[in-house]
Amino acid sequence: MELVEAIILSVLAASTPLLIAATGELVTERSGVLNLGVEGMMIMGAACGFAGAWLTGSIVVGAICGIVAGTLMSLVFALMALGLAVNQVATGLALTILGIGLSGLIGAGFVGERITPAPHLYIPVLTDIPLVGRVLFGEDAFVYLSIALIVGVWWFLYQTRPGLILRACGDNHVSAHALGYPVLRIRTLAVMFGGACAGLAGAYLPLAYTPFFIPGMTAGRGWIALALVVFASWRPGRLVVGAYLFGAVTILQLHAQGWGVGIPSQFMSALPYLATVIVLVLLSRARTGGSTAPAALGTVFVPDR
């Protein structure tokens, strides 16, 4: 039972940054914008989040610094891709390269330093319940925030008028503009939300997952978050399943190495990314009736003057 509980807790911890980052990217893509710079925004959130927490001794300040860093990076993307109508794919890739380099510069002075990780919730009696106690009532605030975030995004997209307008911008920006909606402003806000989520997801890594910063500690999680949006068919509910599935693959390969499974460690480390590719291929072959992606995803929009 203790082993099962430890595995479940590890899966939750590994899945949380994926879920937060993918939730932000889902909103961005629902507005019709394809931002491939999630990895760069995440690593910037990790560097600035750790720096803020180490300098102030506050996890909250660190999380805010991560959010601000991700948001500022997203504004760079918005300026280029929306303001200047530059190709979104090229801009997103450039943003990732910029984030990786800039985070190494910012975090260079903090490598080797440690902080006290985010505290876990403890409710007497409830947290002590075998197996489910620590899973439901003993996590850190980031885990509960990720669940609240995905529920809030689902409610916003499908239960509110602004959510309907945002989806309309992603499906047909010309019609949305003709109806008088400020497409570029809506998309800019969606991009900023995605950047804030990516920054928070990156900050989670040094603030709660591992209480230290190393360059490149996101280790491709931003790319997995992008794939998760496709895996979920741009639907928040499926995003939860996908995030925990890929988190489970990541953790189980670590446990398999610990159990001495006779498989090269390099292959086991690549397993989460291999699973991502396989799932995307299977979804592409199984999907019927055309793509479920927003119709205007990645399409440059220049309003008529």
Residues 6+ apart with CB under 8 A from 120: 138, 139, 140
Residue with tokens 């995307």: 280
pLDDT digits (tens, 9 = 90+) for 243-298: 998 888 878 777 666 666 666 767 766 776 777 778 777 766 665 545 578 999 98
Tokens coding 67: 């959010």
**What DSSP line would sit under 148-217, residue for residue?**
HHHHHHHHHHHHSHHHHHHHHHHH-HHHHHHTT--HHHHHHHHHHHHHHHHHHHHHHIIIIISSB--TTT
**What DSSP line would sit under 23-70, residue for residue?**
HHHHHHHHTT-----HHHHHHHHHHHHHHHHHHHS-HHHHHHHHHHHH
CATH, domain 2-120+141-286, list 1.10.3470, 3.40.720, 1.10.10, 1.10.760: 1.10.3470
pLDDT at 287: 58
Q: Specify whether the CB–CB gap between 74 and 196 falls below 8 A.
A: yes
Residues 6+ apart with CB under 8 A from 146: 16, 19, 20, 23
Between CA 17 and CA 74 the distance in angstroms is: 18
Q: What are phi and psi of 120, to 5 degrees?
A: -100, 150
pLDDT at 133: 86
- Spell out, as residue ranges, where the chain has pLDDT lower than 70: 255-263, 265, 268-269, 272, 283-291, 305
3-state secondary structure 91-130: HHHHHHHHHHHHHHHHHHHHCCCECCCCCECCCCCCCCCC
Between CA 53 and CA 241 the distance in angstroms is: 31
First to last CA, the chain: 65
CA dihedral sign of residues 70, 71, 76, 78: positive
pLDDT at 275: 73
State which amino acid sits at residue 220: G
What three-state secondary structure class fits 290? Answer: coil
Instruction: Give the global pTM.
Output: 0.92
Between CA 257 and CA 5 the distance in angstroms is: 18
